[in-house]
């Protein structure tokens, strides 16, 4: 084949139609299409470890939806997560970050709790005088 | 470690050139038996034994799917290829050899069927009727609005029915050029990212020598018809690798 292995495009550039439904970029790969084939098709032969195909069908739908929305976002140039180490990188970084944030929240809550009590006392202070 | 089976060919001399390797970056190997070559790599046994646990880990699964497809496609670039379904794993290479021996006829049949041919996808969408709603103008009353709305819905239903009829015609025309054809269920709007309804999601096994003819045909059908068409491919023939049906 002397053409690109994957060729994807709208046929033809639809007459006079504009905006909105952008045609997929030629050469772009639609993962929803890949998943449809990889998960649903191909030779099904018994492996040594049984994988429940019934559930894979359900999973396909879920996966497709997630991936389709990711691809759609990329199409629109929203791809910040690919450059964000906490999202594209390993889990450990994310967990560490999570722990650090939890610690900070705890510290902030403690700091918040003290002045709050003081304020309450101030507010309550005049009450006995009014009652008397 | 266990052996993950991606694809089977019969004239492979070396592992396909995939920059990123197989699943989890695993090195690809060929397992040669009975005149067939299986493309495999080692994968973590736990990950696949416990697929249940990974079921909700969509990022992991999407990664496996991408890697699987990357290897299958790399093989298909230069050879007839029989792609395996995702997550076909064996305890070791000897088990893969046994499977190649046992299922030799089935693999050979798939390879014969797809040799020199590509899979193409043709999708058809209902063409949006912008003119229809614009022509309606501003309704003079609530009742007029409801009447117009009912009318629009009826017209919408009619448009879909007409598009479905045309999709059948497109399918028949492309199938006539193809060696084999399959109709997959139309994809949901949330998948296609398009607001128009999909009315055809066809897969066609086409002789490589007829590629230009196919492109011309789809262009022609798109130009003359009243549904929007999308051609995707060439694909490794996943849709035609199953048991003959």
pLDDT tens-digit map of B5-18: 999 999 899 988 88
Of B49, B184, B191, the CB nearest to A49: B49
Domain check: are B11 and B102 in the same one? yes
Domain check: are B125 and B226 in the same one? yes
Domain check: are B17 and B85 in the same one? yes
Answer yes or no: do A48 and B196 touch at CB < 8 A: no
* Domain finish residue from B96, B114, B132: B114
Q: Which residue has the tokens 């249940």?
A: B52
Task: Give which of B1, B130, B193, B243 to mutate to test A binding, by max A Cβ within 10 Å.
Answer: B193
Least Cα distance to B8 among B39, B34, B29 occurs for B39
Residue B231 counted as domain residue = yes
Residue B220 counted as domain residue = yes
Number of domains in chain B: 2
Domain check: are B9 and B78 in the same one? yes
Answer yes or no: do A43 and B110 touch at CB < 8 A: yes
* Domain finish residue from B84, B114, B144: B114
Measured in angstroms, the CA of B84 and the nearest CA of chain A are apart by 5
Residue B107 counted as domain residue = yes
Q: Which domain holds residue B131?
A: 117-240
Distance CA(B161)–CA(B159), nearest Å, equals 5
Domain check: are B185 and B93 in the same one? no
For chain B, what percent of residues have pLDDT higher than 90? Answer: 61
The answer, yes or no, to whether residue B169 has pLDDT greater than 80, is yes
Distance CA(A93)–CA(A34), nearest Å, equals 30
Distance CA(A53)–CA(B10), nearest Å, equals 28
Q: Contact at 8 Å (CB) between A60 and A35?
A: yes
Domain check: are B126 and B225 in the same one? yes
Reduce the DSSP state of residue B2 to 3 states and report it.
Answer: strand
The answer, yes or no, to whether residue A27 has pLDDT greater than 50, is no
Domain check: are B123 and B108 in the same one? no
The answer, yes or no, to whether residue B192 has pLDDT greater than 60, is yes
B16 contact partners, CB below 8 Å, separation of at least 6:
B28, B39, B71, B74, B75, B77
Of B85, B87, B228, the CB nearest to A43: B85
Residue B59 counted as domain residue = yes
Chain A CA closest to residue B106: A43
Chain B CA closest to residue A28: B232
Q: What is the ipTM of this complex?
A: 0.72
Domain check: are B90 and B133 in the same one? no
């Amino acid at each position: 084949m002397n053409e690109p292995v994957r060729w994807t495009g709208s046929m033809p550039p639809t007459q006079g139609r504009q905006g909105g439904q952008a045609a997929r970029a030629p050469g772009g790969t639609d993962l929803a299409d890949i998943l449809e084939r990889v998960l649903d098709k191909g030779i099904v032969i018994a492996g040594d470890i049984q994988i429940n195909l019934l559930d894979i069908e359900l999973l396909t739908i879920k996966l497709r939806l997630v991936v389709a929305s990711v691809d759609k976002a990329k199409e629109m140039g929203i791809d910040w997560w690919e450059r964000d180490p906490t999202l594209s990188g390993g889990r450990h970084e994310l967990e560490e970050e999570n722990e650090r944030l939890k610690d900070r929240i705890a510290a902030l809550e403690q700091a918040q709790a003290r002045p709050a009590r003081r304020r309450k006392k101030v507010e309550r202070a005049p009450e006995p005088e009014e009652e008397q | 470690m266990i052996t993950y089976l991606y694809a089977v060919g019969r004239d492979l001399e070396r592992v396909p050139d995939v920059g990123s390797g197989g699943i989890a970056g695993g090195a690809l190997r060929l397992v040669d038996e009975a005149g067939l070559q299986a493309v495999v790599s080692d994968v973590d046994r736990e990950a696949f034994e416990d697929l249940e646990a990974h079921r909700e880990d969509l990022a992991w699964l999407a990664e496996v799917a991408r890697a699987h497809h990357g290897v299958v496609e790399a093989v298909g670039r230069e050879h007839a290829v029989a792609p395996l379904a995702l997550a076909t794993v064996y305890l070791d290479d000897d088990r893969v050899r046994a499977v190649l021996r046992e299922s030799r006829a089935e693999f050979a049949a798939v390879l014969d069927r797809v040799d020199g041919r590509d899979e193409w996808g043709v999708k058809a969408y209902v063409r949006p009727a912008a003119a229809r709603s614009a022509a309606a103008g501003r309704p003079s009353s609530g009742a007029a609005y409801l009447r117009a709305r009912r009318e629009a819905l009826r017209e919408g239903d009619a448009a879909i029915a007409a598009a479905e009829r045309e999709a059948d015609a497109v399918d028949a025309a492309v199938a006539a050029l193809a060696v084999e054809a399959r109709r997959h269920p139309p994809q949901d709007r949330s998948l296609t990212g398009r607001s128009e309804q999909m009315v055809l999601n066809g897969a066609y096994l086409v002789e490589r020598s007829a590629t230009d003819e196919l492109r011309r045909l789809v262009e022609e059908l798109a130009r003359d018809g009243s549904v929007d068409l999308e051609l995707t491919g060439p694909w490794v023939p996943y849709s035609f690798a199953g048991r003959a049906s």
